[in-house]
């Protein structure tokens, strides 16, 4: 038998980053959101494809540079790349967004180029004096760069490869851009092992076409003439994995690859039964969250949200959480403020509004930034305000 094994159906979902004006509600569209395990490659991926033009465009709402911690993380990522390639090396970043990582390559004196299809974020990066090409990364783009700028010593991507509908095509486009014998492709993405371990099913939304593991990355790499030579686990985005690929045979795979492979086998990351269990846990977790919020409403408590994340679109729509349960969500992104959350239509407000009208409970939709946000909002907690988290379990903190 071929084809993917479907294991989770999250129902009809609006575009996760499709924050909208009240006047746009009538024309809001929904698309199926189902996930499956590919038998041949062990890749976990979305089964329903949404045209990328609907997701990444000039009104793309997601600006990477919203978190201080992420900024520090990308500085360390850039330093690692610098230490891994020759001194005058050339770096190409796929999906450079507003320049959060690209700026560090520039500051470290490295020759660099960003490739970014969403014009508004690309413009923000150019405003920082960075070189950015407006394009989806493809074989054609890669050839153009190689002809004009020469081979890349490193091609890098962060939270981008999971957005691509055909990761094998992307690997195959990267391979000829890498300097023969020494070029590396380093990318990091939310890690399937963490999604299963934490039951962080809100990582599943239209922009995340793939949920990678070492198993799937190794198979796809092999098919593109590449090889997985190093992995490093990261705490970002609720648990990510950083993969380093090189041309097959050019670098010996490190110990990290063997030991993480063993961990994955023990956890059954390519076993269909693991995913059946996960689907049951997802249903349970979302019912639990809905029950907590309805209980609080019954008690007359005021509940707001913190962080109008793309992830929150999955949770609010799957669990049935609307403005009657969560009256508003605060967020620092100017483009989201004044709009409604996709599907659930919860108003997005500035942080100041949340602070001024402190709710009894605040559901932390940006749970992946919990440390940073809980530290920053200590005054709210000192005054008796409570946060609700739902990863790794539904809990009031």
Q: CB nearer to ligand TMP: give 73 or 285.
A: 73
What's the rounded Cα separation, in Å, for the pair 360 and 371? 20
Written as six digits, the tokens of 324 are: 């009657």
Interface with ligand TMP, residue 329, by CB under 6 A:
no
> Which range, of 13-21, 125-133, 240-248, 369-377, touches ligand TMP by CB under 6 A?
369-377
Residues in the chain, total: 397
Binder to ligand TMP among 18, 99, 190, 307 (CB under 6 A)? Answer: 307
Site string for ligand TMP, 257-296 (x = CB under 6 A): ----------------------------------------
Minimal distance, residue 14 CB to ligand TMP, in Å: 16
Interface with ligand TMP, residue 369, by CB under 6 A:
yes
| Strand, helix or coil for residue 2 | coil
Q: CB nearer to ligand TMP: give 176 or 392.
A: 392
Spatial CA neighbour of 96 closest among 67, 68, 72, 120:
120
Q: CB nearer to ligand TMP: give 243 or 367.
A: 367
Minimal distance, residue 208 CB to ligand TMP, in Å: 11
In the window 62-81, what residues touch ligand TMP (CB under 6 A)? 66-67
What's the rounded Cα separation, in Å, for the pair 355 and 280? 37
> Which range, of 94-102, 103-111, 274-282, 306-314, touches ligand TMP by CB under 6 A?
306-314
Site string for ligand TMP, 211-240 (x = CB under 6 A): ------------------------------
Start-end of H helices in 131-271: 139-149, 167-174, 192-198, 214-223, 255-267
> Which range, of 134-142, 144-152, 303-311, 354-362, touches ligand TMP by CB under 6 A?
303-311
C-alpha dihedral, 174 to 178 to 183 to 187, nearest 10° = -20
Q: CB nearer to ligand TMP: give 182 or 332.
A: 332
Interface with ligand TMP, residue 309, by CB under 6 A:
yes
Written as six digits, the tokens of 176 are: 């000829």
What's the rounded Cα separation, in Å, for the pair 49 and 165? 8
Instruction: Kindly determine how many residues on this chain lie close enough to bind ligand TMP according to the rule CB under 6 A.
Output: 14
Spatial CA neighbour of 245 closest among 177, 347, 197:
177
Rounded-to-5 percentages of helix, strand, coil across the chain: 40, 20, 35
Q: CB nearer to ligand TMP: give 163 or 261.
A: 163
- Concatenating the DSSP letter of every residue in 244-309 gives EEEETTSSPPPHHHHHHHHHHHHHTTT-HHHHHHHHHHHHHHHHHHHHHHHHHHHTT--EEEE---
> Which range, of 120-128, 163-171, 327-335, 355-363, touches ligand TMP by CB under 6 A?
327-335
Residue 209: partners with Cβ closer than 8 Å, 6 or more residues away: 45, 46, 49, 162, 163, 164, 165, 167
Binder to ligand TMP among 145, 231, 308, 363 (CB under 6 A)? Answer: 308
> Which range, of 117-125, 139-147, 274-282, 364-372, touches ligand TMP by CB under 6 A?
364-372
Minimal distance, residue 357 CB to ligand TMP, in Å: 16
Residue 175, H or E segment = none
Calculate the alpha carbon distances from 343 to 62, 107, 314, 320 in Å: 17, 41, 9, 10
Interface with ligand TMP, residue 121, by CB under 6 A:
no
Residues that bind ligand TMP (CB under 6 A): 66-67, 307-310, 331-333, 366, 368-369, 372-373
């Amino acid at each position: 038998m071929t084809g993917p094994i479907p294991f989770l159906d999250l129902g009809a979902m609006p575009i996760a980053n499709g924050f909208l004006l009240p006047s746009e509600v009538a024309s809001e569209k929904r698309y199926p959101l189902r996930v499956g395990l590919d038998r041949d490659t062990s890749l976990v991926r979305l089964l329903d494809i949404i045209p990328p033009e609907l997701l990444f465009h000039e009104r793309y709402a997601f600006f990477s540079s919203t978190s201080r911690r992420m900024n520090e993380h990308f500085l360390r990522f850039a330093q690692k790349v610098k230490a891994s390639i020759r001194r005058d090396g050339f770096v190409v970043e796929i999906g450079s967004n507003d320049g959060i990582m690209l700026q560090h390559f520039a500051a470290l004196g490295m020759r660099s180029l960003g490739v970014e299809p969403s014009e508004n974020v690309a413009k923000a990066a150019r405003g920082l004096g960075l070189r950015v090409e407006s394009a989806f990364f493809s074989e054609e783009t890669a050839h153009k760069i190689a002809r004009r700028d020469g081979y890349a010593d490193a091609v890098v991507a962060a939270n981008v490869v999971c957005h691509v509908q055909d990761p094998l095509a992307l690997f195959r486009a990267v391979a000829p851009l890498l300097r023969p014998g020494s070029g590396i492709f380093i990318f990091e993405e939310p890690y399937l092992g963490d999604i299963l371990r934490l039951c962080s099913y809100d990582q599943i939304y239209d922009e995340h076409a793939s949920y990678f593991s070492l198993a799937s990355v190794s198979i796809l790499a092999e098919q593109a003439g590449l090889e997985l030579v190093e992995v490093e686990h990261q705490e970002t985005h609720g648990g990510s994995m950083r993969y380093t690929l090189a041309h097959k045979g050019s670098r010996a795979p490190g110990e990290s690859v063997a030991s993480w492979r063993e961990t994955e086998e023990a956890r059954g990351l390519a076993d269909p039964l693991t995913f059946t269990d996960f689907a049951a846990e997802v249903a349970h977790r979302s019912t639990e969250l809905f029950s907590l919020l309805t209980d609080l409403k019954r008690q007359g408590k005021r509940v707001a949200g913190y962080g109008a994340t793309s992830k929150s679109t999955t949770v609010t729509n799957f669990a049935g959480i609307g403005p009657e349960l969560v009256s508003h969500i605060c967020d620092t992104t100017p483009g989201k403020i004044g709009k409604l959350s996709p599907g659930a239509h919860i108003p997005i407000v500035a942080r100041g509004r949340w602070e001024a009208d402190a709710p009894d409970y605040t559901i932390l939709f940006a749970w992946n930034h919990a440390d940073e946000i809980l530290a920053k909002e200590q005054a709210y907690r000192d005054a008796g305000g409570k946060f609700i988290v739902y990863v790794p379990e539904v809990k009031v903190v």
